[in-house]
Amino acid sequence: MSPRPYSGARVAYGTMHGKEATARAPFQHRLGAQVVAADGIDTDRFGTFTGTVPRLLAPADAAAAKAALAMEITGQPFALASEATYLADFGPFADHHELLLFQDGVRGMTVVESAMTRVASPFSDVGSVPEGLAAAARLGAPDAAVTISTLADGAAVHRGGLRDRAAIADVLEELLSLGTGARIQRDRRAFADPDRRAVLADLADRMADRLTRPCPACDAPGWGVVDVERGLPCAVCGSPTRGIRADVLGCGRCGERASRPRGALRMSADRCDVCNP
Residues that bind Zn ion (CB under 5 A): 215, 217-218, 220, 234, 236-237, 239, 251, 253-254, 256, 269, 272, 274-275
> Is the Cβ of residue 65 or residue 269 nearer to Zn ion in the bound state?
269
Supply the minimum distance, in Å, between the C-beta of residue 1 and Zn ion: 10
Of 14, 13, 77, 85, whose CA–CA distance to 44 is shortest?
Answer: 14
Supply the minimum distance, in Å, between the C-beta of residue 265 and Zn ion: 14
Supply the minimum distance, in Å, between the C-beta of residue 240 and Zn ion: 9
Supply the minimum distance, in Å, between the C-beta of residue 250 and Zn ion: 8
> Is the Cβ of residue 119 or residue 249 nearer to Zn ion in the bound state?
249
Q: How far is CA 9 from CA 1, 35, 77, 102, 162, in A?
A: 15, 9, 9, 13, 37
Phi, psi of 65 (to 5 degrees): -65, -40
Of 159, 75, 153, 87, whose CA–CA distance to 119 is shortest?
Answer: 87
Q: Strands, DSSP E only, in 41-181?
A: 78-88, 93-104, 109-120, 123-126, 146-152, 155-162
> Is the Cβ of residue 92 or residue 231 nearer to Zn ion in the bound state?
231
Supply the minimum distance, in Å, between the C-beta of residue 254 and Zn ion: 3
Contact 106, 10 (CB under 8 A): no
> Is the Cβ of residue 51 or residue 108 nearer to Zn ion in the bound state?
108
> Is the Cβ of residue 195 or residue 256 nearer to Zn ion in the bound state?
256
Of 200, 231, 202, 226, whose CA–CA distance to 213 is shortest?
Answer: 226
